[in-house]
Amino acid sequence: MPKEEINNLALRRALFYPAAEIYPDSPSGFWEFADAGEKIRRKIVDLWRKELVEKEGFIEIFGAQVLPEAVFRASGHLESFSDPIVQCKKCNSLHRADSLIAEKTGKVVPESLAATELDKLIKKHSVECPKCKSKDFHETKKFNMMMKVDIGATGNQVSYLRPETCQSIFLDFKRIYRTIANSLPLGIAQAGSSFRNEIAPRNTLLRQREFGQMEIEVFFNPHRISEIENFAEVENFKLNLLLSKEKAVKKISCREAAEKKIVSGKLIAYYLARVQQFYSKLNIPEEKMRFRQLGEDERAFYAAETWDFEVETDLGWVELMACNYRADYDLKGHAKQSKQEMIVTDNNEKVLPHVFELSAGIDRAFYVALDLAFRKEKRGPEERIFLDLPIRIAPYIAGVFPLVKKDGLLEKGLEIFRQLNSYDFDVLFEEKASIGKRYAKIDEIGVPFAITVDYDSLKDNTVTLRERSSMQQKRVKIDSLAEALWHLKTGKKSFEQI
Ligand SMILES: [Zn+2]
């Protein structure tokens, strides 16, 4: 769907909107979410938690957002977490040097390239300023993207807002291993905000300065990378792989990927399968998803293997999760900086665990879910817009609507609303506006069902249950509503079977 329509819908229903928007000079790249938007976003995290954290027996943490400088000295962020910035001499606009070159040449510019090398390429390809077409630039400078925070009254304890959620996981590894896990592989997860001082935030939720991440670090014994419980469950599962030197996606089973060494071991294939299965639950069609294998010049220098999980949208392929085999880079760095031992005993063997990382964006998943769910239907002279969201991430499961406010219908509706609420269903009650307007509202925010209380409800204790996407309706006994919604929510029954 063209992003303009998503953005219009987002503002019209307050799904997401700029932070501090009443102040026009607020910096861009910060967003807020209300009601349905907040709920959809939260439910994506809940789905991740259920499918990729709890089912795998992983441990979730809630870490601090502000961390001391030493952490980022060890992680390498202080030294190398920077974008190459170049300024136009004529109009003073700032640009990312690597993007300008890549746009001109159509080729990926390696992240590791020094500023002086970038300047040479700018000259060689006569790169122009996208704003004023001048070819005269200042020298490229590396700009660190971390946001600095001064702690304490004297401000001399330099800290940073975390640029990624995973550092706390590395810092906490030893304590969690000792107190809770005591064995490998050990998965530790965290969801929350991260902060990057992006030069040019753009595409609303796709490039922000504060953004949601859900990250998992799987710590394992590198000598046992192909010993993973439950591999049998996925061995025939087909991964959509775009290998680094190929043009088309290949469907390759986990077993084949491991046997042919397309991945470093069964453990990697296993988690890639779980990732693909997780995103399928967001209703991403099979043909619109792929793991793109990053070539050597694209990967972070410490990564032995990287697969970017990408989804095709109207904005092109969007990366939703980076799956990085980080080896022992992180634990080694923190062991050296903190002088704390990170070696553990696994199967009577002393090892420094290796890490396979599943690093996902929350807001990107949210945006892509909206993009893929957006529907516009012509109905006679009118147009209907609805979000065909999967039930598990829908903001509410149903709206409860008394047809009119009088003759006891309001009270009956409230009774149903309270009953469903007590069963822990997310339901919405609305008595204002015409029934058509109320349907239109919940259609637009992706609520899958509407429950309408009318005069017959008072006589025979039934209500109308309406399905959003098909607009089919049926009468359901009030007493069996909760059970019906539970069947629909868990997928045990379809709407036709109710
Ligand atoms: Zn310019």
Contact present, 321 and 309 (Cβ < 8 Å):
yes
pLDDT at 2: 63
The DSSP string of 89-141 is TTT--EEEHHHHHHHHHSSPPPTT--HHHHHHHHHHTT---TTT----BPPPE
Closest CA to 397 of 445, 464, 462, 457: 445
pLDDT at 111: 72
Q: Using CA atoms, how far apart are residues 236 and 253, in angstroms rounded to an integer?
A: 5
Q: What is the distance in A from the centroid of ligand 1 to the CA of 101?
A: 15
Terminal-to-terminal C-alpha distance of the chain: 32
Residues carrying CATH 3.40.50.800, the chain: 396-497
Q: Using CA atoms, how far apart are residues 472 and 1, in angstroms rounded to an integer?
A: 25
DSSP label at 295? P
For residue 448, cis peptide bond before it (omega within 30 degrees of 0): no
Q: What is the distance in A from the centroid of ligand 1 to the CA of 134?
A: 5
Q: Which two tokens stand for residue 231?
A: 């591999």
Q: Using CA atoms, how far apart are residues 2 and 18, in angstroms rounded to an integer?
A: 19
Going by C-beta distance under 8 Å and a sequence separation of 6 or more, which residues neighbour residue 485?
397, 398, 420, 425, 449
Query: How distant is the alpha carbon of residue 133 from its chain centre?
Result: 36
Q: What is the distance in A from the centroid of ligand 1 to the CA of 138?
A: 11
Q: What is the distance in A from the centroid of ligand 1 to the CA of 298?
A: 28
Helices (H) and strands (E) in the chain, counts: 16, 26
CA distances for 292 relative to 257, 307, 358, angstroms: 14, 5, 14
Contact present, 367 and 206 (Cβ < 8 Å):
yes
Q: What is the distance in A from the centroid of ligand 1 to the CA of 133?
A: 6
Q: Using CA atoms, how far apart are residues 187 and 221, in angstroms rounded to an integer?
A: 12
Statement: residue 328 has pLDDT above 90: yes
H/E element holding 287? Answer: none
pLDDT at 1: 58
Q: What is the distance in A from the centroid of ligand 1 to the CA of 84?
A: 17
Determine the 3-state secondary structure of 384 from DSSP.
Answer: strand
The alpha helices in 374-434, defined as continuous H runs, are 409-422
- The pLDDT tens digits for 379-406 are 888 889 999 999 999 999 999 999 999 9
DSSP label at 434? -
Q: Which two tokens stand for residue 312?
A: 């095709």
Name the CATH architecture for the domain at 82-144. Answer: 2-Layer Sandwich (3.30)
Q: Using CA atoms, how far apart are residues 68 and 75, in angstroms rounded to an integer?
A: 12
**Mean pLDDT score, 227-250:** 96
Burial of 357 (0-12, 13-18, 19+ CB in 10 A): buried
Contact present, 344 and 181 (Cβ < 8 Å):
no
Tokens 């590395």, residue located: 170
Q: What is the distance in A from the centroid of ligand 1 to the CA of 93?
A: 6
Q: What is the mean pLDDT of the chain?
A: 95
Question: Could you count the other beta carbons within 10 Å of the beta carbon of residue 173?
Answer: 22
Closest CA to 358 of 85, 156, 169: 169
Q: What is the distance in A from the centroid of ligand 1 to the CA of 91?
A: 4
Lowest mean pLDDT among 36-50, 151-165, 330-344, 425-439: 151-165
Q: What is the distance in A from the centroid of ligand 1 to the CA of 313?
A: 31
As assigned by CATH, the class of the 396-497 domain is alpha beta
Name the CATH architecture for the domain at 3-72+161-371. Answer: 2-Layer Sandwich (3.30)
The DSSP string of 204-266 is GGGB-SEEEEEEEEEEE-GGGTT--TTHHHHTTPEEEEE-TT-SS-EEEEHHHHHHTTSSSSH
Q: What is the distance in A from the centroid of ligand 1 to the CA of 296?
A: 33
pLDDT at 409: 96
Tokens 């694209």, residue located: 298
Q: What is the distance in A from the centroid of ligand 1 to the CA of 135?
A: 8
Q: What is the distance in A from the centroid of ligand 1 to the CA of 128?
A: 8
pLDDT at 199: 85
CA distances for 94 relative to 34, 87, 90, 197, angstroms: 33, 5, 11, 14
* The model's pTM: 0.93
- The pLDDT tens digits for 126-166 are 999 999 999 999 999 999 999 999 998 887 899 999 999 99
Residues carrying CATH 3.30.40.230, the chain: 82-144
Determine the 3-state secondary structure of 173 from DSSP.
Answer: helix
Tokens 């504060």, residue located: 210
Statement: residue 482 has pLDDT above 90: yes
Q: What is the distance in A from the centroid of ligand 1 to the CA of 203?
A: 22
Residues carrying CATH 3.30.930.10, the chain: 3-72+161-371
Q: What is the distance in A from the centroid of ligand 1 to the CA of 132?
A: 4
Q: What is the distance in A from the centroid of ligand 1 to the CA of 405?
A: 61
Strands 186-195 and 59-60: parallel
> What are residue 84's DSSP bridge partners?
142
> What are residue 210's DSSP bridge partners?
195
- The pLDDT tens digits for 53-108 are 999 999 999 999 999 999 999 999 998 888 899 999 999 999 999 989 998 998 88
Q: What share of the chain is helix, strand, coil (3-state, %, to 5)?
A: 35, 30, 35
Q: What is the distance in A from the centroid of ligand 1 to the CA of 94?
A: 8
Q: What is the distance in A from the centroid of ligand 1 to the CA of 87?
A: 8
Rg (C-alpha) for the chain, rounded Å, is 26
Q: Which two tokens stand for residue 329?
A: 């880079």
**Mean pLDDT score, 1-27:** 93
Q: What is the distance in A from the centroid of ligand 1 to the CA of 386?
A: 42
